[in-house]
Structure 1
Amino acid sequence: MADYSTPLPPLLTQSLRLPNGSVIRNRLAKAATSETLATYANRPTPRLVQLYQRWAASGVGLIITGNVMIDRRALGEPGNVVIEDESDLPMLERWARAATDQGASIWVQLNHPGKQSTKGLNVSNLAPSAVPFSKEMEALFETPREATDAEIKDIIQRFGRSAAICKKAGFSGVQIHAAHGYLINQFLSPHHNQRNDEWGGSTEKRRRFLLAVYAEIRRQVGPHYPVAIKLNSADFQRGGFTEEESLATVQALADAGIDLVEISGGTYETGVAQPKKASSQAREAYFIEFAEKVRAAVRVPLMVTGGFRSVRGMDAALRSGAVDLVGMARLMVIDPDAPAALLQGRDSAQRVRPIKTGIKQIDSLGVMEVLWYELQIKRIAAGGEPRPNESGLWAFVKSLVLSGWGTFKTRRLRAR
């Protein structure tokens, strides 16, 4: 049993050495959150530098950026950063140094949205198969077209190219986003991937796209540069990606040499599932039980994000041996200085709460868990403070206006 007689929990403060020799200064990680702080031409801005300087100053060990896209034609939201060439290298270097100059590691989360992009933002959206969204989501997302073999191979190469640029810019590593319903997750899911070629038709073939992305990134960055993955434990969707398939995917990635696996779950359509059992709620971490299954199968370092509320819960997860890094996302948006307290054995004064507008149709989609937090991030990036008690309805209205304007400006810039 953990000893809490001393105020400083030693496991949170311990450094973590990855198999490739890279060292993260402690066991706290800022998990990726959507930021949308790029220009409408998708170029990084000084606001990202200011945001990451604030987060790195908290003492957190690792910061993972949110939703950096590999193709300007395939955006998830207006204001996504896109890295597809070296035209923004000076600003990327400033962004990386904002964290590394303060001793924090910073990994770029590389992503392709696939079908999970709002209507009107891209000229068209592609996916493994032309599977429409659920009726509840059809108003926001259009039915995609099926990707061609040539397009799939181009996307694989783009992931590698983007990773190589991140390395050149001085970022500490990259994370492949293969969770939450984005393109790689779509390829893994039998619900979204109904192909019968080399990219689908069996569990092994659905996994081929992800493994090809990893192999291309590894080819372009070399054996010693950290490459991680964010992977669903399950999609929580009928006919979707299951725990058994996820565990087999982790084993395949571990065999290929992945440096760290972050465990998550759910998609835009299902939301991120929360534990219902009292025993799971007491342990705080949403995916700790799946992490234990993974730990029994592989020795690759594991990060779990979601549900952590206290130093006690974080320390217990680390002591269990199933978790190597504790991921925080929303807590560090409403309290950017939370790691400073946690590393001294004190809980943050803030508590993550459900964000609701009071409009049932909106709240059932779970979009406020993205939109509300994006607004708080923008305040921090402008040098201000978050507003933890801000109205969900006000945030929704403001986000609706900003998103509409952003979509218009993005399409107009693209048409020039």
Structure 2
Amino acid sequence: MPNYQFLTPFEFKNGLTLKNRVVMSPMTTMTSFYNGMITTDELNYYAARAGGPGMVITGVANVDASGKGFEGELSIASDDMIPGMTKLANVIHQNGTKAILQIFHAGRKSNHMILRGHQPVSASAIAAVYPPDSEQPRAMTTIEILDLIKAFGDATKRAILAGFDGVELHGANTYLLQQFYSANSNQRTDEWGGSRDKRLRFPLAVLKSVRDAIDQYATKPFVLGYRISPEEIETPGIRLADSLYLVDRIKNQVDYIHMSMGSYKRTSLNDKTNKQTLISQFAAHTNGVVPLIGIGSVEQPADAEAVLADGANLVAVGRELLREPQWVQKVQTGDVDSIRTQLSPADMDELAIPPVMQTYLTTSFKTVMHFTTDTDKAQNYQDELAPMEGFEKKL
């Protein structure tokens, strides 16, 4: 086996051990049933990719019907979902891979069509800046906030019963947890908004709800992760100092922190005088306290090694596992030359990419997929937000 750091095992503080440090990052399939139940197409998609990485994080699942952000989204909002989720966890567990369920609420990143006539909800009644035609949400009431905090805990209990090894709170990509923390989307004047610490109250309360569920129901090591976007480009909005403050507030309450960005080489989008990579700046706050998952356009083994050398403990691989489901196995056997870093549209069925996801990849995600049929130069998203980070441009 090649002598790569990312192929070595990793153990979390609670005892959960990964066979290697490669994480399959959460990716949208848009392939669940109308009510959020898992489909066979999705199970086949995960089965094709699960054997290699040490840990697989699923595409996001909503914890409440009001949090559905797109059609074909997974749900963990009711006990009806447990049988399907059990199948998903079992599929991911092949060859000792650990299964993490990502959970969220979309907040204002939804619309009345997806919500079957209901208005989206958020911290405040302020529409998202991107895309420009986003619908104005309704500000959540205090009772709705408290109910949703409980819903995150209930969802965690279901993930435990389904056999997952952890949950990841999706606090990135401008979804509800991030909306409450951002001065752009949270302009409340009650106890859930105002100062930075007050805007942080909702994410911290959700963390506590999830941690309480883990303490009550988990009978084996079960990890809690938190995904975070380093910066927003809106004004007002989250800046790097705000994200590092958030990391400092939660790093003793979570089992890992997972960054969300399009390139592992990225530096600050807002402060061009700050030349340090974002990974290294996050690592300065997490080192020795909590594991950090670095991410962003990892395609070759050298990229994965660079992420770890920059201070991350684990490296997430996303789009590359769409192009090359056997990425880890090929690296392990020294078969690096056969790794696909481009994707032929003609190969997507063979790669077990669900049909609806294929449409999504060839439209909304076309600029990030490196299709062999592309005539445009590939973007690296080192200096700009990528589509998967919540920055949606209308085609």
* TM-score of the aligned structures, taking structure 1 as reference length: 0.76
Q: Does the CA-based 8 Å contact 1:163-1:217 persist in structure 2?
A: yes
Q: Name stretches of at least 5 consecutive residues in structure 1 with no aligned partner.
A: 1-6, 266-270, 278-284, 356-370, 380-385, 394-416
Gaps of at least 5 residues in structure 2 are 269-275, 346-353, 363-368, 377-395
Tell me what 1:248 maps to.
245
Partner amino acid, structure 2, of 1:83: I
Letter in 2 for 1:164: K
Determine whether 1:230 maps to 2:213. no
Alignment of 1:126-275 (within 5 A): 126-134=121-129, 137-139=131-133, 141-222=134-215, 224-255=221-252, 257-265=253-261, 275=266
Find out whether 1:90 has 2:94 as its counterpart: no
1:252: Cα distance to partner?
1.3
> Does the 8 A contact of 1:334 with 1:376 survive in 2?
no
Structure-1 residue corresponding to 2:94: 101
What is the rounded CA distance, in whole Å, between the counterparts of 2:304 and 2:370 in structure 1? 25
- Per the TM alignment, residue 143 of structure 1 is displaced from its structure 2 partner at its CA by 0.8
1:327 is matched with which residue: 310, 313, 316? 316
Q: Would you say 1:125 and 2:120 are equivalent positions?
A: yes
Pairwise CA distance, 1:93: 1.1
Residue deviations 1:271-304, cap 9 Å, x none? 8897379xxxxxxx974233333335x6200001
More off after superposition, 209-218 vs 99-108: 99-108
Cα distance, 1:389 vs structure 2: 3.1
Q: How does 1:324-363 map to 2 (within 5 A)?
A: 324-344=313-333, 346=336, 349-351=339-341
Change (3 A) 1:276 1:100: closer
Q: Is the CA contact (8 Å cut-off) linking 1:334 and 1:388 kept in structure 2?
A: no
More helix by percentage: 1
The aligned amino acid for 2:299 is R
Q: For 1:195, what is the secondary structure of its paired residue?
A: coil
Which residue number in structure 2 is paired with residue 20 of structure 1?
A: 14
Q: SS of the counterpart of 1:230?
A: strand
Query: How big is each residue's C-alpha offset from its partner over 1:86-116, in whole Å with a ceiling of 9 and x where there is no partner?
Result: 2132221111000113211110000100000
**What corresponds to 2:294 in structure 1?**
304
1:392 & 1:166 partners in 2: Cα distance? 43
The answer (yes or no) to whether the contact 1:52–1:98 under 8 Å persists in 2 is yes
Q: Please give the per-residue CA displacement for 1:290-337, whole angstroms capped at 9, x wherever unaligned.
A: 3333335x62000011132321221133234x1111111111112212
Does the 8 Å contact 2:264/2:298 carry over to 1? Answer: no
Instruction: Tell me how far apart the structure 2 counterparts of residues 204 and 154 of structure 1 sit (CA, whole Å).
Output: 21
Amino acid at match of 1:181: T
CA contact (8 A) 2:76 2:155 kept: yes
**CA separation of 1:155/1:9 partners in 2, compared to 1, >3 Å: closer, same or farther?**
same
2:186 match: secondary structure: coil
Q: Which of these residues, 30, 43, 47, is aligned with residue 53 of structure 1?
A: 47
Secondary structure of 1:88's aligned partner: helix
- 2:83 partner SS: helix
Q: Distance in 2 between matches of 1:308 and 1:95?
A: 25
User: Are 1:316 and 2:312 counterparts?
Assistant: no
Contact 1:187–1:207 under 8 Å retained in 2: yes
Counterparts in 2 of 1:373 and 1:352: CA distance versus 1, 3 Å: farther
AA aligned to 1:61 is G
One-letter code of the match for 2:283? E
Give the Cα–Cα distance (whole angstroms) in 1 for the partners of residues 74 and 293 of structure 2: 24
1:182-212 Cα distance to aligned partner (Å, 9 max, x none): 0001011111111121111111111111111
Distance in 2, matches of 1:376 and 1:304, equals 28
Matched, 1:375 2:375: no
Give the CA deviation at 1:373: 9.2
Work out the percentage of aligned pairs sharing the same amino acid.
25
Following TM superposition, by how much is the alpha carbon of 1:131 offset from its aligned partner in structure 2, in angstroms? 1.2
CA apart distance, 1:344: 4.1
* SS of 2:49 mapped into structure 1: helix
The letter of the residue matching 1:68 is A
> How far off its partner does 1:165 sit?
0.3
How far residue 80 of structure 1 moved from its aligned partner, in angstroms, is 0.8
Give TM-score scaled by structure 2 length.
0.80
* CA positional deviation for 1:160: 0.6
Work out whether residues 295 and 316 of structure 2, in 8 Å CA contact, stay in contact via their aligned partners in 1: yes
d(CA) in 2 for partners of 1:336, 1:286: 28
Structure 2 residue 284 is the aligned partner of structure 1 residue 293: yes
Q: Indicate if the aligned counterparts of 1:342 and 1:348 stay in contact, CA closer than 8 A.
A: no
Paired residue secondary structure (1:93): helix
- Tell me the SS of whatever aligns to 2:259: strand
Q: Assess if the C-alpha contact under 8 Å between 1:333 and 1:376 holds in 2.
A: no
Over residues 330-357 of structure 1, what are the superposed CA-to-partner deviations in whole Å (9 max), with x where a residue is unaligned? 111122122222334536633369x9xx
Counterpart mapping for 1:400-411 below 5 A = none
Q: How many residues align?
A: 347
| Amino acid of the structure 2 residue aligned with 1:333 | L
Q: SS of the counterpart of 1:331?
A: helix
2:294–2:308 CA contact under 8 A, matched in 1:
no
Q: SS at 1:29's partner residue?
A: strand
SS at match of 1:245: helix
C-alpha contact 1:69 1:111 (8 A) present in aligned 2: yes
